[in-house]
Amino acid sequence: MKLAERVRNLAESATLAVTAKAARMKADGIDVVSFGAGEPDFDTPQHIKDAGIAAIQAGHTKYSKPASGIPAAKRAVCEKLARENSLHYTPNQVIITASGKMACYLVMSSLIDPGDEVIIPAPYWVSYPEIAKLVGGVPVTVAGRESNDFKLTPADLKPVLSNRTKLFVLTSPSNPSGVTYSPDELRALADVLHEYDLFVMSDEIYDRLVYDGQECSSYAAVSEQAYAHAITVNAVSKTYAMTGWRTGYAAGPAEVINAMSKLQTQSTSGAVTFNQHALVEALTGDQAPVEQMRLEFQKRGRHMYERLIAIPGVRCPKPTGAFYCFPNLSETYSKLGVAGSLEFAELLLEEARVAVVPGIAFGLDGHARLSFAASMEQIDEGLTRIEAYLK
Ligand code: PMP
């Protein structure tokens, strides 16, 4: 059997692989602390569940009409983006997608021709380079300095931009580093990006999960020119603890959104119709549960970070958003006799029974990603085990 080359060359999601192995160990009765999760450990707020159930009861169980999203969901997205992101879009500039991941896939499929370069700052969310390759693009990864928490500056960005660049991918707050660009940092990048004929995909899936007064802005909000070239991607997955609902959205120039919508008619035929009704409730209903979750993540993130940097040889950017710490553990590798983050994560799981995601999956082999979407007790237990293991 000969499978298509695009699949043969595709890396399986490392985040899912680690959590699957940890789950298998747990099922075998082994006491594993998992920091692998890429999703909130909270349940979807009740009022959102009720809206989903009510939508099913009301018969919203047929195809999404249109496939690009029901009008109420598009209006809710416009309202959210205006209220929280100072971004003003009309419904024809919005698409509702079957997840944030699908929104990224549709953006790249709509913009990338074979050979076009996609600039991806490292550390990056695992799926960007794979999606770029799937659509025929050439991923070009570029890392910021560790002393700048890996955030790119104009000086880092300039050397990789060229007339081959079609798309720049921005993720703020970041998965996996947990760092967030300030509005000034975004403006500085925009000044460089404006010199080229390219688009920016701004993945803002963690925009509501920011901590310690960190300022956070949408890329498209920094200038008119940025707005004209940006596609803002988001989802209800993280903010509202709705990862299983597979409901996301994107907003940007109508021409790009139309192209994405056309592709959607030939792929998923749209997001699940009753989930779009739940999205309306999530975006326009009571936001108190979001603040409760945010405060809890903030507390956990600070605690995990403090405990990590107290371990000799461990450095870590302070998480200002999302729910991840991304420590540099490379100083411990030689002591442990491991060659890289894959071996490190495997040993840690087998010997200390703590699951982390190897940094190589995000482009930086000296690191590991630890999710603090886990209880304080689990965080303490896991860090105690890591500390003891690295002694
Ligand atoms: N972008 C980023 C940065 C993410 O971390 C994730 C989820 N891990 C996604 C997109 C995809 O989200 P969804 O579950 O809505 O597909």
CA angle, corner 256, sides to 103 and 207, nearest 5?
45
Number of CB atoms found within 10 A of residue 330's CB = 19
Q: 242 and 100, same structural domain?
A: yes
The answer to whether the CB of 175 falls within 8 A of the CB of 169 is no
Cα of 255 vs centre of ligand 1, distance in Å, is 24
Q: 93 and 220, same structural domain?
A: yes
CA angle, corner 85, sides to 296 and 283, nearest 5?
65
Closest-CA residue, ligand 1 atom 5, reads 175
Q: 184 and 310, same structural domain?
A: no
Length of the chain: 391
Q: 51 and 24, same structural domain?
A: no
Cα of 232 vs centre of ligand 1, distance in Å, is 13
243 pocket-lining for ligand 1 (C-beta < 6 Å): yes
Give the per-residue pLDDT at 241: 98
203 pocket-lining for ligand 1 (C-beta < 6 Å): yes
Cα of 205 vs centre of ligand 1, distance in Å, is 7
Cα of 64 vs centre of ligand 1, distance in Å, is 22
Residues 152, 156, 157, 161, CA torsion sign: negative
Give the per-residue pLDDT at 191: 98
Which of 226, 260, 284 lies at the terminal end of a domain, its last residue? 284
Which of 246, 264, 284 lies at the terminal end of a domain, its last residue? 284
Q: 134 and 23, same structural domain?
A: no
Ligand 1, closest atom to CA 237?
15
185 pocket-lining for ligand 1 (C-beta < 6 Å): no
Cα of 14 vs centre of ligand 1, distance in Å, is 14
> Whole domain around residue 258: which residue ranges?
46-284
Give the per-residue pLDDT at 14: 64
Which of 259, 284, 309 lies at the terminal end of a domain, its last residue? 284
Cα of 351 vs centre of ligand 1, distance in Å, is 30
Q: 270 and 172, same structural domain?
A: yes
Cβ-Cβ contacts under 8 Å for 319 (sequence gap 6 or more): 177, 178, 179, 211, 301, 304, 305, 325, 372
**Ligand 1 test: best mutation among 13, 77, 101, most atoms within 8 Å of CB?**
101
Cα of 135 vs centre of ligand 1, distance in Å, is 18
Q: 18 and 61, same structural domain?
A: no
125 pocket-lining for ligand 1 (C-beta < 6 Å): yes
101 pocket-lining for ligand 1 (C-beta < 6 Å): yes
Q: 336 and 279, same structural domain?
A: no
Give the per-residue pLDDT at 37: 83
The overall longest dimension of the chain from CA atoms, in Å, is: 61
Q: 122 and 177, same structural domain?
A: yes
Q: Could you say which residues of the chain have pLDDT below 50?
A: none
Domain count, the chain: 2
Q: 229 and 353, same structural domain?
A: no
